[in-house]
């Protein structure tokens, strides 16, 4: 098994807080470093309260990258800053989430540095004769490939919700936060974000939710999602949707799960009125436990379901809510 | 307007995946244009229809990929390049694919104002190749676009960012990756299918690129391809709907322990 001397993680931030996938990257980093140094780089403005709490995390150093061009996402500025930090720290492992941010920045940085990049990894194996072996789904989740990197640095993006998150704050001493000022005076910003229309409402982040109640075309209307939302609330989860439901206007595209939408790996996925098309399965088939509720016993969703109820979702879903409330009282 | 599309042929989405001697078995499989590349092809043709110009296409693939190239030509692509990496003497990965495409563009002096890629391939699925090409060419990219307006040398784009909608402005030359929602790809008409057979298709072997194998060979290495473990057949509950609902909650709580 290999060890890395120096691991660098690029944080992913949403609404001023670190996304869960960053904590997952920290635990992968510790597995790979096995005693080596772990660095975390934070580029966007983070809530000052969170910075304080992060000081207790088991990290060797945090880099707070401060530059006016990085306050909001800009591709050129981000690529340049990542490259600067990699040149400065010379890590043998670079980790980030396989999120919109990671997907945009990591391939450009990898191409610039002519290094290998393993994208969308779901598992790390350290027991092989190779240094580190990562597993990633291929063919829309119909097979897996295990790959390794032939020459450091190891550059890896992690699919959210597939690794145990690290929240260990056992350090008795708070770690040092270094401020890094990248020199971005030479770069031209060739793309400019003029507007962001937020459709993702507050509440549980879909790609990080432990429980997802998802509705498809079988939900039949926008109002039809109300019982699904009630169930999601009592289970502490989030609501998702199939492309069918989004196309029909019952749900916003922000909720779409599947190849084109979000890829999710919750502990519990409840599919209501979803037929189970391959593009939908690509986004959820790795959920730990899958429940299907569908009036059609032949629906392909039952092939991936651990538990199935053949029945009308409008009858079943409210009964599930009631039953959970009853035994939880 | 000079439009260039990077298109990949993939297995039909409905194909089952079998593993033979540690490799994906491709014997007799149906193949299609990678769906996200199909949006790229359609968008390229629409840009030409609106602004004039030429639509060219590059595919890295074996002889079987020519069916996909001809389909794209029947949709409206003018000229194609197929680069064959079959005899490449080393491992290849996204680094190899993107370096080869860039070398091909440079050597053949293929002009471009807009390069269109799919946001991901549905087989390999890394979403790396588009952004890597842009970086190697030194041009900007915008990924997962759902709407595009070209106005002179300016481009306005709407893109999907994990469900949020982002509006981005930039200028040519640029590389764009296509997300579902960008357009509805057309079906080729019969006369166009006939015409497509006569459109120029250039075939190249990797060694004609005169590239340094060391420089472009894979930086990653395959260790194994694994099947998805057959899931045990799930349990279809029985009884009245009320009984089933109660039983399901009990099972999730006590057996699966996810509640
Ligand atoms: C390139 C590409 C990308 C795609 N990406 C995605 C993606 O990311 N995500 C995605 O989901 N799809 C995606 N699709 C679309 C996908 O192929 C399917 O069309 C879609 O998933 C179907 O949605 P659905 O299951 O809700 O609808 P349907 O297939 O119409 O299924 C509705 C189901 O509801 C059941 N039903 C009806 N009434 C009830 C009731 N009262 N109670 C219980 N059950 C009921 C029916 O039996 C049926 O099984 C993509 C397609 C392409 C080509
Ligand atoms: N073999 C190939 N030939 C041409 N273009 C490719 C090839 N592989 C990938 N691409 C392009 O890169 C995109 C993303 O592919 P990937 O990085 O494999 O997910 C595809 O949609 C294509 O536009």
- CATH of residue A213's domain is 3.40.50.1220
Does the Cβ of A285 fall within 6 Å of ligand 1? no
pLDDT at A142 over 70: yes
Residue A66 is assigned to a structural domain of this protein = yes
Question: How many contacts does A have with B, using Cβ atoms within 8 A?
Answer: 252
Instruction: Classify B101 as helix, strand or coil.
Output: helix
Pick from A155, A188, A221: which residue ends a domain?
A188
Say yes or no: A27 and A142 in one domain.
yes
- Portion 86-145 of B in contact with A at CB < 8 A: 93-95, 98, 120, 122-136, 139-144
Q: Encode pLDDT of B14-55 as tens digits.
A: 999 999 999 999 999 999 999 999 999 999 999 999 999 999
The predicted structure's pLDDT at residue A34: 78
Yes or no, beta carbons of B169 and A110 under 8 Å apart: no
Say whether both A245 and A297 belong to one domain.
yes
H/E stretch holding B226: strand B220-227
Is residue A152 included in any domain, yes or no?
yes
Give the integer Cα–Cα distance in Å for B167 and B183.
17
pLDDT at A172 over 70: no
Tell if the pTM clears 0.90, that is, is over it.
yes
Q: What is the residue-averaged pLDDT of chain B?
A: 96
Phi then psi dihedrals of residue A220, to 5 deg: 75, -20
Domains in chain A, number:
2
Could you tell me which CATH number the domain at B2-216 has? 3.40.50.620
Kindly report, residue by residue over A184-216, the tens digit of the pLDDT.
998 989 999 999 998 876 678 898 999 999 999
Is A200 inside a domain boundary?
Answer: no
Domain check: are A142 and A238 in the same one?
no
* Closest ligand 1 atom to A278 CA: 17
Q: Give the tens place of pLDDT for each residue, B202-212.
A: 999 999 999 99
> Are A28 and A99 found together in one domain?
yes
We report the CATH number of the domain holding residue A137 as: 3.40.50.620
Between CA B52 and CA A310 the distance in angstroms is 54
Q: Looking at the complex, does the CB of residue A255 fall below 8 Å from at least one CB of chain B?
A: yes
Measured between CB atoms, does A204 come within 8 Å of chain B? no
Please check whether residues A31 and A172 belong to one and the same domain: yes
| Residue A201 lies inside a defined structural domain of this protein | no
**For chain B, what are the domain ranges?**
2-216, 232-259
Atom number of ligand 1 nearest to Cα A260: 8
- A252 in any annotated domain: yes
Burial (CB count <10 Å: 0-12, 13-18, 19+), residue A215: buried
The answer to whether the CB of B193 is under 6 A from ligand 2 is no
Range of the domain at A270: 206-327
CA distance A189 to chain B (A): 9
Measured CA to CA in angstroms, residue B240 lies from A148, A323, B243, B256 at distances of 51, 14, 5, 22
Mean confidence (pLDDT) of chain A: 92
How far, in Å, is the centroid of ligand 1 from the Cα of A300? 10
φ/ψ of A230, rounded to 5, equals -60, -45
What pLDDT is recorded for position B69?
Answer: 98
């Amino acid at each position: 098994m290999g060890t890395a001397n120096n691991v660098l993680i690029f944080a992913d931030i949403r609404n001023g807080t670190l996304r869960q996938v960053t904590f997952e990257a920290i635990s992968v980093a510790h597995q790979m470093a096995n005693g080596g140094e772990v660095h975390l780089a934070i580029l966007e403005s983070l809530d000052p309260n969170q910075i304080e709490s992060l000081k207790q995390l088991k990290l060797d150093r945090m880099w707070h990258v401060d530059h006016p061009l990085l306050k909001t996402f800009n591709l050129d500025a981000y690529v340049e800053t990542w490259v600067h930090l990699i040149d400065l720290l010379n890590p043998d492992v670079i980790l980030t989430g396989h999120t919109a941010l990671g997907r945009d920045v990591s391939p450009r940085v990898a191409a610039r540095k002519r290094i290998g990049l393993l994208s969308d990894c779901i598992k790390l194996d350290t027991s092989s004769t190779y240094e580190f072996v990562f597993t990633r789904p291929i063919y829309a989740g119909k097979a897996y490939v295990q790959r390794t990197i032939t020459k450091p640095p190891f550059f890896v993006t992690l699919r959210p919700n597939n690794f145990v998150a690290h929240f260990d704050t056992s350090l008795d001493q708070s770690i040092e936060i270094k401020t890094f000022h990248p020199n971005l005076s030479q770069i031209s910003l060739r793309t400019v974000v003029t507007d962001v229309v937020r459709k993702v409402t507050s509440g549980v982040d879909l790609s990080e939710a432990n429980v997802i109640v998802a509705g498809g075309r079988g939900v039949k209307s926008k109002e039809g999602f109300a019982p699904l939302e009630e169930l999601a609330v009592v289970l502490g989860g989030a609501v998702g949707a199939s492309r069918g439901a989004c196309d029909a206007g019952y749900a916003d595209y922000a909720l779409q799960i599947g190849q084109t939408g979000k890829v999710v790996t919750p502990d519990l996925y409840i599919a209501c009125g979803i037929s189970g098309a391959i593009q939908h399965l690509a986004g959820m088939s790795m959920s730990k436990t899958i429940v299907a509720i569908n009036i059609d016993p032949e629906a392909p969703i039952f092939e991936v379901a651990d538990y199935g109820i053949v029945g009308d979702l409008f009858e079943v879903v409210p009964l599930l809510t009631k039953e959970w409330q009853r035994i939880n009282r | 307007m000079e439009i260039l599309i990077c298109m990949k042929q993939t297995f039909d989405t409905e194909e089952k995946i079998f593993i033979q001697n540690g490799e994906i078995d491709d014997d007799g499989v149906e193949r299609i244009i990678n769906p996200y590349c199909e949006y790229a092809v359609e968008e390229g043709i629409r840009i030409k229809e609106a602004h004039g110009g030429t639509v060219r296409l590059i595919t890295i693939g074996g002889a079987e990929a020519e069916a996909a190239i001809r389909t794209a030509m029947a949709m409206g692509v003018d000229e194609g390049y197929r680069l064959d990496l079959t005899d490449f003497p080393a491992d290849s990965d996204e680094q190899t694919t993107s370096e080869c495409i860039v070398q091909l563009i440079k050597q053949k002096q293929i002009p471009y104002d807009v390069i269109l890629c799919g946001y991901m391939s549905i087989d390999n699925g890394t979403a790396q190749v588009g952004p890597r090409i842009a970086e190697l060419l030194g041009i900007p990219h915008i990924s997962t676009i759902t709407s595009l307006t070209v106005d002179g040398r300016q481009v306005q784009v709407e893109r999907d960012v994990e469900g949020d909608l982002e509006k981005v402005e930039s200028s040519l030359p640029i590389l764009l990756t296509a997300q579902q929602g960008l357009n509805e790809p057309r079906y080729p008409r019969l006369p166009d299918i006939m015409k497509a057979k006569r459109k120029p298709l250039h075939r190249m072997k990797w060694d004609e690129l005169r590239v340094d194998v060391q420089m472009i060979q894979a930086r990653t290495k395959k260790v194994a391809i694994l099947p998805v473990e057959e899931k045990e057949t799930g349990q279809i509950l029985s009884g009245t709907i009320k009984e089933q609902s109660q039983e399901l909650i009990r099972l999730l709580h006590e057996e699966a322990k996810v509640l």
